[in-house]
Amino acid sequence: MKHNRDSQGLVLVVDDERLIQRIVRAWLEDAGYVVETFGCGEDCLAALDRVLPDAIVLDLSMPGLGGLETLRQIKVRSQHLPVVMLTADLSVNSVVSAMNLGAYDYLTKPIDPAKLTTTLRNAVQHCHLSVKLAHLERAAEGTGYGLTCHSPAMKETLVALNRVAAGDITVLIQGESGAGKELVARAIHSHSSRRDGPFVALNCAAIPETLQESELFGFEKGAFTGAEQRRIGRFEEADQGTLFLDEVGELSLGLQAKLLRAIQERAFSRVGGNKEIRSNYRLLVATHQPLQSLVAQGKFREDFYFRIAVFELEVPPLRARREDIAPLARHFASEFAEALGHAAELSNAALEVLLSYSWPGNVRELKNAVHRGLVSANGSTVQPEHLPPRLLQPTSPVAAVTESSPAATSPSLPPKEVPLTVAGAEAIAVVDKAGVGLSMEAIERQAILCALTRNEGVLAKVVKELGIGRTTLYRKMKKFQIASEESGGEV
């Protein structure tokens, strides 16, 4: 779409009479619209491959495709696009047919300029409202929680977010599953100059590899079995807005190459088509995978990585932003209480449980836990027993160990500095002195001991180094009888 943002919108005028084209253009341009004129429906439909107008003025009686068929095909492509029909004769049948096909309104010739501009203004507003409503509906289907930010780690993320949002720079958002990467992407979009445009999200992991290309670029009619109609892809859908590709690490190498070209040249073709299509979007991508490692393993294209990692933004895991747990939990409780139709409060004891848990599933897991608690409590205050049982498993002595990182310090549970004493940590061996292979458990035990020694007992560093969740670490430490100094050192 090439009209500037100060205009009232882009209007396509379709009439086989040049005199009508010229006068309608004059009136609409005077009213602040950007206008493109076409002499037939076919040309208008072809133009819709490259522009997304705010409204169309369409003559009912034209040679060739004709007004009604053109209208029908416009509506197949864009249901919300308002079309104002022009007719010289008030033939009831044709007007009724046009309205039944989804025309926004009709005007009779000779056209009254005041009526035309009023109708167009209403039509464009209608279009924008319809699109906004669709966006709101899509947003409502999403996660529903905001960016709660009481922790230093999250505040740091938000500072970076604010710095990067206003521009048009491509952002790579990294973070564990459930940490809120899409929320961060939505926040960037809503703070950008594209906020009035669409936010189009695609989870690459949720789309089978064979469908990823058509989902991204769209397809032409007949491109493959079942492609009964042309469909635009996410790239086109995101024109003037933001395209968010989640779990970008799941894309095949072949598709990465195609995406690289589409991103570099801002142009692509639909599957089964040759026509070059342009779209003006901002790209945000996210992943929970270490893309650089994937690059080193040859599983991710290096050129594609550098194209998308223009600015990297880290969304911290929930365990690194414990100050946010209670506010988030209360927020979810309030949200679900409304949906469940009854009041819901979290007891202090329940909050303590939430604060003590490691949240490997991050914010998404917290949200689900609160939901379960509210449903189980059935209108009364949520107690620990209403929460998922895994949160209530007896705490091993090491579970009380807190970390030195301030971001991981609970605001409600005073930090207890309990240094770990790790005895017997040696270089990891895979065979014993007799050359007999050690069991996996024995090797795991050594790995944990070594990691604890190297990281001076800071569990956040240990789990990061070992690439396991905190819960897993606790379980294994308990199993291998690795304990803190307080409990008497290694058993």
Q: ω before 414 within 30° of 0 (cis)?
A: no
Nearer Cβ to other proteins (18/138): 18
Pairing of strands 171-174, 267-268: unpaired
Nearer Cβ to other proteins (1/23): 23
Tell me which residue has tokens 């569990």. Answer: 459
Nearer Cβ to other proteins (113/489): 113
Nearer Cβ to other proteins (110/435): 110
Tell me 44's DSSP state. Answer: H
Nearer Cβ to other proteins (113/384): 113
Nearer Cβ to other proteins (89/441): 89
Longest dimension (CA), the chain: 102
Question: What minimum distance in Å lies between the beta carbon of 83 and other proteins?
Answer: 19
CA distance 230 to 400: 59
Tell me 395's DSSP state. Answer: P
How long is the chain? 491
CA distance 299 to 375: 43
Tell me 7's DSSP state. Answer: S
What is the radius of gyration, based on Cα positions, of the chain? 29
Footprint of other proteins (CB under 8 A): 17, 19-20, 22-23, 26-27, 30, 88, 109-111, 113
Write out the DSSP string of 121-184. Answer: HHHHHHHHHHHHHHHHHHHHTS--------SHHHHHHHHHHHHHHSS---EEEE--TTS-HHHH
Nearer Cβ to other proteins (21/279): 21
Question: What minimum distance in Å lies between the beta carbon of 114 and other proteins?
Answer: 9
Closest CA to 145 of 318, 355, 393, 386: 318
Joined tokens for residue 259 = 């995406």
Question: What minimum distance in Å lies between the beta carbon of 113 and other proteins?
Answer: 7
Crossing angle, helix 470-479 and helix 440-454, to 10 degrees? 110
